[in-house]
Structure 1
């Protein structure tokens, strides 16, 4: 971001020590916070002063409604700025984009910014201060302070995969509300995949009449039963273009940009099921329900056929019209290229374009689709893949496997967005793998806090920002969607916004704990698996299994049992030494406490599972 290095250095030098000792656990923490000695009481007598520019009246009314809801009383708006016990909004043209200054004095509150987005972010900080006070059960008396703050990155995103499971417009609106409270500004929607096409394209109606529906299935994603003969495809849904327009307006009011993704040329079974002629095999297909049950499925489009590009151009044309975002994501990852190897049309394209192989054919396809996006006045984004032939330098690279792709692309002059899987993927499980049904691997809360959007060697000027990505194979409903996002979303908010010196993990976790009650007030589900004890096993002498217990959160006491009873604080306490398993024990059960209060669920693991981990 502009002036990033200056801001980082300046904030490090002047960040007031009171910010960490203030008892104001803001997320993300602001660049600078200076405390005073007096205070201001916020109540039903507080007024909101309208800015001179009436164009911003809708935004200020939105602020008024939020404040009224928190105070449970009506709030008046006035036209006298800087009056006593008022909240005023001031334009200061010399402020950086999205930056704000929040001043609370014994007389009033003033939020200054160069544009309304800055007001909005200052308002979120102000509302956090009020809500945190409410949760403490104190009077809403705010300490005199001055906050100067600006974002570290322009892209602070969360991605939702709405293909594997469809989430209604209302669910997305509630998700946007929570995003906005923590200064996220991009909602990336993965709209298409093998399991469903979620966007109305009027020129291609089968995409939603066929591609948006699959046979209903419930349970673990892997090994899902194949459709029975004549079974109806009734599970799914899609967004009409009017839905999208409504959603875009809602998000814009909260300064969130919705970025659409159409995943091509792989992950395209829903597209192929709708129009089989775009595939190399041209055989009828069904939209997937779960993991692949048909090895002969065709989930890749034929990239040698010009008619494929005609349909893609129709899709991109309509997307460009209904999404005001300057970005369109075109996918590009995990392509099964063997179809192209066996397709005479694709092989003819290789010869015609002077390409060497199917790997270069993929580069040709991505570049051709990117040109369509650029022709519509948009910027293409693609998942980073290592391809033999270079990609158009205008394609923003979204680095997902690790950080190496972002480093490489940034040095080549390409813009990059970081979402390294092992640090930012929100579908990865948060607790012990034996107890969870999420695929792949673990990304614990403390691990996600380690995410560094500026890894060593990266060209900083080409980094747009980063995001958390939530694939939804095992996320069938809104409560699980929330559970997988929060509180890991707090760590992403901190890492993508804050230019202040990074807090230690224990200090930042104290802030997280302060915000958990706010999620409850908002009826937003969240994971508390970070309180769970973590059990590891190793091989000891004579092939015995030795157990070690750790915690993600400092200051927890762990109690355990081997006798198949549920432990509490009166059971044996783990003392940090390796535990030998008593003869005859079938399970270990552990529970964590903090200040004599149970914090975790009771984790029960079979000894047989631990023997596997010890490789016995």
Structure 2
């Protein structure tokens, strides 16, 4: 598409009617009731040629007569609406997820308390409640600057005063499987208390074992009766007390009541260069604590292990010895701050939790279509425009209000990190022995950058400075390509055939290098993104010329990745990218050191591409969405926040039970996203002998996370299970098979004995989470997820449990009063059930 004319998409042809006045806009914003109802995720038929669609309806009701009809409502609908059935209204797609509701010519205005129903069909998949965005915007028909747009109050979210969870009053209840299942063959269960009772493991331990998360390689109790009373504090040797590289671990110990003083238990550090960098040995005795390590990182993890051994209410542990080192070198967490911004404090707090559980890589996703979140010298437009969403359809002040962002630029979904902010994050991460891997996604997912540089181009062209205008321009005026990205944008891809694109990229990377260097934290790895480019550049004159002069070129995306990778490598930086983009490259044109994040779905043969790229000698970091994407729901229940395109439920047990070395073997224990059995044939595209994966990474994408508390809810306690699998390889985990195999529900490689070992290990882990770590999270103000309750009636009595022990269970009676479960005498009187901690209440489930 001609980028200079892209705004014409927004200027939809409408009847020549007088725009609404401010009074009308204000009245509708305050009074109009908007109700969205998902009717079916799999209707019997779809209009037109579509084989798959979703049927929904919007109902608009005004409490008074209102004859002014020349308004428009703009709202975020993740999946495009393609067919509308309404007497009085049309819906049109603007860009991305933004849609516009306009009154038809013959609409005479709202009649008091008379519903106006707009039934419509949308493409693709949208079924969890959090996918239905808030903050509908009302303006005049042409969104002119003659009136001030408002958000419609009935489409605001609310915070439940009991649970602290978000409520969506504009969204009708989900009550049927027709709203949960996306096809006729879909067998996704509604995870009720009864279903959870049948499928979850009931905790068997009511006291926390002598262990920690993540589990060490070896832990030997030397004397169960000879207690080490850490409340006496630690008398640190100078090598420990005066080492700033250990300060974050000492701070965590102090947080739990383990300080240091001259009268404390003598604690010393021994250096043993034969140990690996992150390995350590720890001996605890009543009168002496000894740490042995080869590096500050090993000593840091030894101190963190002391913190992991204790409970807040019990600082005594048996005399013991730990010998430990990580299974994976790369133990990461990806945080998307681009779609919806995360505060600097959230990042700092997350770094502290990552370090506590021995995660060592923060993949910070700083730019995407919906936002550019890092200030870059000499390019102020990147953050002045690219860091904000508001209601400006010209996008000269901000980006379009994607993802229900509303109109308020000061909303926490907007914002950016200044240079000082970013450098503070770098320094804090370094203190916690964590590498920050910045990512500014390109060439797709680049709309924030494209729009910001369009604004810069316009500014300098108006000033008569063409050379300066074109210096960092990412668009081509004569590019007539029409495409739609996976997020339904038609203008989110920078032009990979323009020299100015690479001038821009080098400028950004050089500024990143300088920011790192200034604080003594060198930029070691840069993630270029390079995923999900679809249909761009097909009618770009620059790309046509490049293709003509380079006949061997087979992929513009591959060309881009190769070129940027060589640029990054030339600056002494390791390049990283997502595996699908890397699949477009010629490996011979790539640098010698490459990190691939393998996010192809295992349930759809994605392990084959992971094997292929690992066999190239690239560092493969497993980013398997079915188990590491923490923006997906914990359970398949519409009230659970999250996306759903790869998995319908990712609870702690699934993360804990992941076997990273043998990806195809999961066909024995997993189901597809439609809860169906599948088959994995590992006879082709096998992993070469001796090839090992580099590591494991969790992911927190943010499209549906509009607050830091929502982000914490999705992270914790799943993050602890991720740390467990990244650091420790359990005996029950399957290694990769030497010979090819076919895996399915009947293949039996993951034997009943192995599964029983896993379940026993889970009981240890669950007890540690529920009886030790939850209290620590609460102490630090983390908004973790309180688990839902599994329940069933056995012999006339209600039996219930949570997957993690330590939570109280409450039942609501017919009158709406909550009681402790053992106070319910008649199970027929029980209506809802929930879990409670010392300070938090979980989401309730219906018992009927």
Taking structure 1 as reference, are residues 551 and 354 closer, same or farther at Cα in structure 2, changes over 3 Å only?
Answer: farther
Contact 2:495 2:501 in 1 (8 A): yes
**CA distance, structure 2, for counterparts of residue 365 and residue 179 of structure 1:** 33
Is it true that 1:470 corresponds to 2:712 in the alignment? no
**CA distance, structure 2, for counterparts of residue 400 and residue 453 of structure 1:** 13
**CA distance, structure 2, for counterparts of residue 303 and residue 45 of structure 1:** 59
**CA distance, structure 2, for counterparts of residue 343 and residue 41 of structure 1:** 71
Contact 1:48 1:64 in 2 (8 A): no
Q: CA deviation at 1:255?
A: 0.4
Match of residue 617 from structure 2? 413
Match of residue 96 from structure 1? 276
Contact 2:787 2:802 in 1 (8 A): no
Taking structure 1 as reference, are residues 93 and 439 closer, same or farther at Cα in structure 2, changes over 3 Å only?
Answer: same
Match of residue 148 from structure 1? 323
Taking structure 1 as reference, are residues 487 and 21 closer, same or farther at Cα in structure 2, changes over 3 Å only?
Answer: closer
**CA distance, structure 1, for counterparts of residue 528 and residue 704 of structure 2:** 24
What does the per-residue CA deviation read over 1:119-152, in whole Å, with 9 as the maximum and x for residues that have no partner? 000101101223x1x33xx4x3321100000001
**CA distance, structure 1, for counterparts of residue 725 and residue 362 of structure 2:** 17
Q: CA deviation at 1:208?
A: 1.5
Alignment size in residue pairs: 528
Three-state SS of the structure 2 residue aligned to 1:463 is coil
Is it true that 1:167 corresponds to 2:425 in the alignment? no
Within a 5 Å distance, the mapping from 1:143-542 to structure 2 comes to 143-215=318-390, 236-276=414-454, 277-280=473-476, 297-323=490-516, 324-337=522-535, 339-355=536-552, 360-385=555-580, 387-391=583-587, 392=590, 394-403=593-602, 404=607, 405-440=609-644, 441-456=648-663, 457-458=686-687, 461-502=691-732, 503-504=758-759, 505-514=762-771, 515-531=773-789
**CA distance, structure 2, for counterparts of residue 43 and residue 507 of structure 1:** 25
Contact 1:203 1:314 in 2 (8 A): no
Q: CA deviation at 1:174?
A: 1.0
**CA distance, structure 2, for counterparts of residue 227 and residue 241 of structure 1:** 27
Contact 1:328 1:378 in 2 (8 A): yes
Q: CA deviation at 1:522?
A: 1.4
Match of 2:229 among 36, 41, 44: 41
Three-state SS of the structure 2 residue aligned to 1:118 is helix
What does the per-residue CA deviation read over 1:26-60, in whole Å, with 9 as the maximum and x for residues that have no partner? 100110011122222223464111129x9x52235
What does the per-residue CA deviation read over 1:382-428, in whole Å, with 9 as the maximum and x for residues that have no partner? 01116455242633110112351322211222221001001000100
Q: CA deviation at 1:316?
A: 1.4
Taking structure 1 as reference, are residues 173 and 282 closer, same or farther at Cα in structure 2, changes over 3 Å only?
Answer: farther
Taking structure 1 as reference, are residues 65 and 411 closer, same or farther at Cα in structure 2, changes over 3 Å only?
Answer: closer
**CA distance, structure 2, for counterparts of residue 195 and residue 161 of structure 1:** 11
Three-state SS of the structure 1 residue aligned to 2:580 is coil
Q: CA deviation at 1:172?
A: 1.0
Taking structure 1 as reference, are residues 116 and 224 closer, same or farther at Cα in structure 2, changes over 3 Å only?
Answer: closer
Taking structure 1 as reference, are residues 530 and 602 closer, same or farther at Cα in structure 2, changes over 3 Å only?
Answer: closer
Within a 5 Å distance, the mapping from 1:68-79 to structure 2 comes to 68-71=254-257, 75-76=260-261
Three-state SS of the structure 1 residue aligned to 2:364 is strand
Three-state SS of the structure 1 residue aligned to 2:239 is coil
Q: TM-score, normalised by structure 1?
A: 0.77
What does the per-residue CA deviation read over 1:478-524, in whole Å, with 9 as the maximum and x for residues that have no partner? 21121111110011000000144354233322222121111111111
Which of the two has higher C-alpha Rg?
Answer: 2
Q: Which runs of 5+ in 1 are unaligned?
A: 1-19, 79-83, 284-290, 535-548, 575-587, 608-616
**CA distance, structure 2, for counterparts of residue 507 and residue 173 of structure 1:** 29
Q: Which runs of 5+ in 2 are unaligned?
A: 1-205, 393-399, 455-472, 480-485, 517-521, 664-685, 733-757, 793-798
Taking structure 1 as reference, are residues 563 and 348 closer, same or farther at Cα in structure 2, changes over 3 Å only?
Answer: farther
**CA distance, structure 2, for counterparts of residue 301 and residue 516 of structure 1:** 45
What does the per-residue CA deviation read over 1:77-120, in whole Å, with 9 as the maximum and x for residues that have no partner? 69xxxxx8211111111111200001012321111101110000
Match of 1:122 among 291, 302, 308: 302
Query: After the TM superposition, which of the residue ranges 558-567 and 360-369 deviates more from structure 2?
Result: 558-567
Q: TM-score, normalised by structure 2?
A: 0.57
Contact 1:191 1:197 in 2 (8 A): yes
Three-state SS of the structure 1 residue aligned to 2:283 is strand
What does the per-residue CA deviation read over 1:272-321, in whole Å, with 9 as the maximum and x for residues that have no partner? 111124124589xxxxxxx96xx664100111111111111111122223
**CA distance, structure 2, for counterparts of residue 499 and residue 175 of structure 1:** 24
Match of residue 58 from structure 1? 244
Contact 1:557 1:573 in 2 (8 A): no
**CA distance, structure 2, for counterparts of residue 567 and residue 454 of structure 1:** 46
Match of residue 469 from structure 2? none
Taking structure 1 as reference, are residues 202 and 593 closer, same or farther at Cα in structure 2, changes over 3 Å only?
Answer: closer
